[in-house]
Amino acid sequence: MTQYVAPHQEVIRIGVLESLGSFLLPELLPQFLLKNPNIKIQLSENFPRVSEAHLLHEQIDCYLGQTPESLNRGLDFYVNGGESYFVIIPPTSKFFKKGHFILKPQEYDIKEILREPFVVSSTNSAIRHQVNGAFQKFHIKPNIILESSSIITATNLAIKGVGLTISAASIIKRMAQTPINLLPVDQNLIQIKYFIAVKHGQALKPGLSNLIRTFMKLKINPNIR
């Protein structure tokens, strides 16, 4: 009913994964809404494939995500920023090195690490798709001891010693500081690249065009030290 109640107000329906939105939306929306007070935002928090389907069927106007390489060809996307992944090694692991935080990338053979017990996010998540690719590249059958629908939960469980996991700086830095090791993952194996996607051939309304421009001006490069 918005078009009748407030005909001059543009509504932008954004699809996003909850764990990604909790980091990316606070970077994007405050300054955008400040400059575009007549825009109304509606959020749809779903798994990536659900957001893609919603965008293709015009149930949302844009989709914020990561790893654009796996996107449907019916979508146009704009990439900006990214970050690296780390393997979280808790003190309960035989690979833990006391007195260290971020290890050198060559500290361990990644194939040895991937054979350890892992806590992972669900198969619908973007990060799980990439983690599965890492296991497949080295022909390793994953030893998954627990699966969560949230990478945030999986990260917390790994920090507490349930198993290893692969997570990103933007997630790890939000957690309580505890003794853990972080092993950088080769970016050729796993890497995050953020994007905003729209349906191919879609005529962009002014507000959505402004949202894309605001996204492209962001400096999205979270790191952890």
- Comparing C-alpha atoms, which of 43, 38, 73, 72 is closest to residue 59? 43
Q: How far apart are CA 29 and CA 68, in angstroms?
A: 21
Which pLDDT belongs to residue 7? Answer: 60
Beta bridge partners, 182, equal 88, 102
Which pLDDT belongs to residue 1? Answer: 54
- Comparing C-alpha atoms, which of 129, 116, 149, 174 is closest to residue 18? 149
Q: Please indicate, yes or no, whether the overall pTM of this predicted structure exceeds 0.75.
A: yes
pLDDT digit string (tens) for the chain, length 225 residues: 555 555 678 999 999 988 889 889 999 999 999 999 999 999 999 989 999 999 999 999 999 998 888 888 899 999 999 888 999 999 999 999 999 999 999 999 999 999 999 999 988 887 888 899 999 999 999 999 999 988 899 999 999 999 999 999 889 988 877 899 999 999 888 888 999 999 999 899 999 999 999 999 999 888 887
Residue 21 Ramachandran class (φ > 0 left, ψ -120 to 50 alpha, else beta)? alpha
Helical axes 18-35 vs 206-217, angle rounded to 10°: 110
Which pLDDT belongs to residue 4? Answer: 57
Which pLDDT belongs to residue 105? Answer: 93
CA distances from 218 to 55, 195, 196 (A): 23, 11, 12
Q: How many CA atoms lie within 13 A of 129 on its CB side?
A: 14
Which two three-digit tokens encode residue 50? 């659900």
**CA angle at 186 for the pair 183 and 191, rounded to the nearest 5°:** 105
Which pLDDT belongs to residue 217? Answer: 95
Helix %, strand %, coil % for the chain, to 5? 35, 30, 40
- Comparing C-alpha atoms, which of 217, 166, 218 is closest to residue 192? 166
The dihedral through the CA atoms of 151, 155, 157, 162 has a sign that is positive
Which pLDDT belongs to residue 176? Answer: 75
Which pLDDT belongs to residue 103? Answer: 96
